[in-house]
């Protein structure tokens, strides 16, 4: 069900992007939107992982430096039947972890120093199993494409806003190549399009997080360990949000690196931790 939902949401996001381009610039706008999306996705596919690792200062570590961490990752990779990913560590006081890479053959698992300090080995294994589930399910690529498309829609919205300000909101010509909405319509699109794109991206991210929790619990064999880890990480993030985190990459983390509550949770890239823990406990009861 989560996979079906993700495919549907990805399709909606891509169609919506081209649709917005058409609203802003007619037929030519659709062509331009498609070209922008294609170029941005190609760039993200090849370079996003290296950019993210540099952004967070994640350094690859050897087995001699972190033998227990390497052992856990290797055992889980063997169980998941995927190549051993690179292992990186981030110097951060915020407990968190993420996986990146365009496919399982070029995957990286990164954890913060804080997460290794507050979790037991069983809990850390649950977190790593969650991240390997992301790798095995190609969630990294899906999340990257979703974030790229959402970013492209926001860029189009900015173009529409500036076009409206400088008198670009004129009706379309005979071939339908200009903006068919008029100035007021362009302003409305420039406001609503980014909001809609963000909500769709959030829905995709939440769907993949639920799937990775379930697969991670099954991979490590102890869903309750992952549930306990999520509760500890949530408290750690609330106490010490990740200052170096960026909104564009928040969806990659196992827990939203920003402290959010109330209405802000509606726009979070991650499901509520209480619901994630509840599902993992139900999974544990089912396994027993």
Just list the catalytic residues: 131
Please give the C-alpha separations between residue 52 and each of 46, 169, 181, 195, 244, in angstroms, as whole numbers. Answer: 12, 38, 38, 24, 11
Strand order in the sheet with 108-112: 59-60, 86-90, 108-112, 97-100
Residue of 276, 145, 285, 127 lying closest to 210 (CA atoms)? 276
What is the rounded CA–CA span in Å between residue 245 and residue 256?
Answer: 9
What is the rounded CA–CA span in Å between residue 256 and residue 260?
Answer: 8
Backbone angle region of 182, left / alpha / beta, with phi > 0 → left and psi within -120 to 50 → alpha: left
Q: Do the Cβ atoms of 92 and 244 come closer than 8 Å?
A: yes
Bridge partners of residue 90, in order along the sequence: 112
Backbone angle region of 101, left / alpha / beta, with phi > 0 → left and psi within -120 to 50 → alpha: left
Q: Do the Cβ atoms of 153 and 193 come closer than 8 Å?
A: yes
Residues 6+ apart with CB under 8 A from 56: 90, 92, 110, 244, 245, 249
66 three-class SS: coil
């Amino acid at each position: 069900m989560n996979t079906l939902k993700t495919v549907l949401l990805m399709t909606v996001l891509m169609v919506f992007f081209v649709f917005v381009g058409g609203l802003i610039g007619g037929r030519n706008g659709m062509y331009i939107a498609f070209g922008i999306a294609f170029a941005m996705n190609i760039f993200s596919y090849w370079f996003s992982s290296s950019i993210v690792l540099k952004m967070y200062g994640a350094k690859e570590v050897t087995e001699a430096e972190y033998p227990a961490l390497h052992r856990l990752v290797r055992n889980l990779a063997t169980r998941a039947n995927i190549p051993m990913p690179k292992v990186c560590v981030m110097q951060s006081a915020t407990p968190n972890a993420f996986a990146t890479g365009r496919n399982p053959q070029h995957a990286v698992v990164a954890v913060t120093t804080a997460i290794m300090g507050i979790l037991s080995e069983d809990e850390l294994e649950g977190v790593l199993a969650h991240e390997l589930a992301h790798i095995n399910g190609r969630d990294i690529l899906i999340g990257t494409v979703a974030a790229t498309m959402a970013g492209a829609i926001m860029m189009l919205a900015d173009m529409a806003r500036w076009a409206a300000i400088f008198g670009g909101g004129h009706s379309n010509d005979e071939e339908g190549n200009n903006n068919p909405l008029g100035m007021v319509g362009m302003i409305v699109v420039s406001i609503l399009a980014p909001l809609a794109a963000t909500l769709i991206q959030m829905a995709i991210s939440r769907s993949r997080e639920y799937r990775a929790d379930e697969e991670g619990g099954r991979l490590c064999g102890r869903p309750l360990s992952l549930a306990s880890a999520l509760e500890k990480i949530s408290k750690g993030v609330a106490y010490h949000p990740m200052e170096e985190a960026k909104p564009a990459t928040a969806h990659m983390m196992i827990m939203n690196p920003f402290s959010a509550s109330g209405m802000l949770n509606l726009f979070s890239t991650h499901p509520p931790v209480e619901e994630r823990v509840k599902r993992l406990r139900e999974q544990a009861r089912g396994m027993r």
